[in-house]
Chains A and B, each alone.
Chain A
Amino acid sequence: MEKIFRGRAVVPGEAKLKALVSRGGFNTLASFKDCKKGKNVCTDQNNPDLYGKSTVGVALCLPQTIGSTTGGMVLYNSAVIGCNPGALLFSNPIDSLAAAGAILASVWTTNNIPTVDGLGEEFLNYVRDGMTIEIRPGGEVAVTD
């Protein structure tokens, strides 16, 4: 069953990916400590949803990012070395660090990370790891069970 959510396209783009869900704030620096070319496993010991899971190429569904202000730089760098999430989907309005990372990737690399924010609490309550996510133009996000 397909369920549609609408948000705002912060960085436009289209993609079809598997969901990976963080119910709490996503600490970017803590999550990318061991990133390598094409590879990243979440290293944030305080994030029980993601700890130990690969964050590469997934539609990362989250309320917002938290933690160090290296966050945006880390996200941008992940796009340069090819270990970035395939998309960022925020239930809340996007925070300044995540926005910086997504925008830096968009302006300074060829590896765009489609980013949608304001999808609402219902989105985060509904989506589960492994669900199929389709990001469509205009901030539309389709979630298939």
Chain B
Amino acid sequence: MELTKEQQAILDGSQGEVMGKIMKTLVMYGETFGATKMVPVTSTYGHIVTSFGVIVIKGVFELMDELIAAGVTSPQKFSADPRPVDRNVPKTLLQDIVFKVMYGPQARYEEQLRKIGLLSDDAFTCACYFPEVGNRPKKGDVLSWAESSAVNYANSVLGARCNRNSGIIEMFGSIVGFVPYFGLLTDEGRMASWVVEIRTAQKPEAQLLGSAIGMKVLEDVPFVRGLDKWIGTELNDDACAYLKDFGAATASNGAVGLYHIEHLTPEAVELGDRLVRPGAKVYVVDDAELARVKASYPVVWKDKDAEPRLCFMGCPHMTLAQLNGWTEKLEAKLREKGRKKVAIKTVFTTAPAVIREFEKQPNSKKLRDMGVVVSYICPLMYMNNPLCAKMPVITNSNKLRTYTTSRYYSDAEILDQITGGAK
């Protein structure tokens, strides 16, 4: 890799041994993928994935201490994934004790993040690109982000350029202000090697379609045809929320960092078929394929017929429009069933900044009255508590299903279950 004089000097230790090691890590990382140069990070803010001070990540705490002791800070401020604990989320006394032990180092870790370059005490969400949050890159911006769903959204829906960086690597890019130029940063790396043909008779469930595609293409870039029939050709609130959930499933059930939706996402609109590599493989998705994928999910509950005790919605965090939409759907369904409150403890998760906006709206009180908790928590971190993992938890998130013992249901099934089941 050819480095500028400034980059070479950092590598050689001009800014200290620790900065030299940071640069060495990025150079080795880039050279592994054939990067020939480092390019400047151009977004206003970074975003980091490691937001949780869980006791087991001792290595991260030690590394942060090493950076801080060396006086290293990040000139680029960054947001971070959601906090792991919220006292408003239902839990038993024993679960609470385990949370306190598991996430005992949370305060220490947040202090470390503040010292390195945390944007604000409120900057904890996996959906930092929401307008209410404000970490929203422009088309063409070069990012040093991690969080698979955020990278996927920034690349695909916003047209920014970011590799699927790992935790720690993304922070190093923000610190030095450069990232190696390879993969999804390049025009070549953004071309599709799969064409996905959507041939369903109804609008496919976002989280199920994303899962099917992720499992099929793994880390390749898919070009999706036929989805605009169901979600339109305009990036409005509904389409963006759909793509957020779809993308998160492609990234967690596979390793997709970028997808193109014909006639909808910015590069697909601009370049159309020119984004598809010659000889691209084809994957046809119909209703039968989606049913096959859904049926393949293992159920790891001890009692497969157990009554759900908790429902999580919002992994990734819900948009303001989703919160409002679900409030209205719930209200109507409960009225239809002659109920006032949800039958299963239910938590909707979203960004702190979205909670503030939502609380200004009448639906906020309605949702609370229906018994739903709105939280900034990361449901995945909640489910990492071994006592929570033993509970039968349901979700409409394929990401949450993948990483935890929670059980996936479609939106319609979830709505039915949390309002008291079939009547």
Which of B24, B25, B29, B148 meets A67, CB within 8 Å? B148
Distance of B259 from chain A, by nearest CB (Å): 15
Q: Give the number of chain B interface residues (Cβ < 8 Å).
A: 44
Residues of A within 8 A of B56 (CB): 35-36, 77, 81
Q: Mark B19-44, 1 if CB is under 8 A from A, else 0.
A: 00100110011001100000000000
Which of B33, B165, B300 meets A69, CB within 8 Å? B165
Residues of B within 8 A of A104 (CB): 25, 166, 168-169
Instruction: Answer whether residue B230 sits at the interface, using C-beta atoms and an 8 A cutoff.
Output: no
Residues of B within 8 A of A30 (CB): 402-403
Residues of B within 8 A of A64 (CB): 218-219, 255
Instruction: Answer whether residue B269 sits at the interface, using C-beta atoms and an 8 A cutoff.
Output: no
Distance of A97 Cα from B405 Cα, bound (Å): 24
A97 touches B166 (CB 8 A): yes
Q: Give the number of chain A interface residues (Cβ < 8 Å).
A: 41
Distance of B420 from chain A, by nearest CB (Å): 29
Distance of A65 Cα from B92 Cα, bound (Å): 35
B60 touches A69 (CB 8 A): no
Instruction: Answer whether residue B332 sits at the interface, using C-beta atoms and an 8 A cutoff.
Output: no
B49 touches A73 (CB 8 A): yes
Distance of A27 from chain B, by nearest CB (Å): 7
Instruction: Answer whether residue B252 sits at the interface, using C-beta atoms and an 8 A cutoff.
Output: yes
B219 touches A33 (CB 8 A): no
Residues of A within 8 A of B29 (CB): 96, 99-100, 103
What 8 A-B pairs are tightest by C-beta distance, nearest first?
Answer: A72-B166, A80-B59, A73-B167, A100-B166, A69-B146, A77-B59, A66-B255, A100-B169
B residues at A contact (CB < 8 Å): 21, 24-25, 28-29, 32-33, 49-50, 56-60, 62-63, 146-148, 151, 163-170, 183, 214, 218-219, 251-255, 298, 300, 384, 386, 402-403, 405
Interface pairs (27), CB distance under 8 Å: A25-B218, A25-B254, A27-B402, A30-B403, A36-B56, A45-B298, A64-B218, A66-B255, A67-B255, A67-B403, A69-B147, A69-B166, A69-B167, A72-B165, A72-B168, A72-B169, A73-B50, A76-B168, A97-B255, A99-B32, A100-B169, A103-B32, A104-B168, A107-B21, A107-B24, A108-B25, A109-B59
In the complex, given contacts A66-B255, A71-B166, A81-B56, what are 19 additional A-B residue pairs having Cβ atoms less than 8 angstroms apart? A10-B32, A25-B254, A30-B403, A68-B148, A69-B49, A69-B147, A69-B164, A69-B165, A69-B167, A70-B166, A74-B167, A77-B56, A77-B60, A80-B62, A96-B164, A97-B255, A100-B29, A104-B168, A109-B59
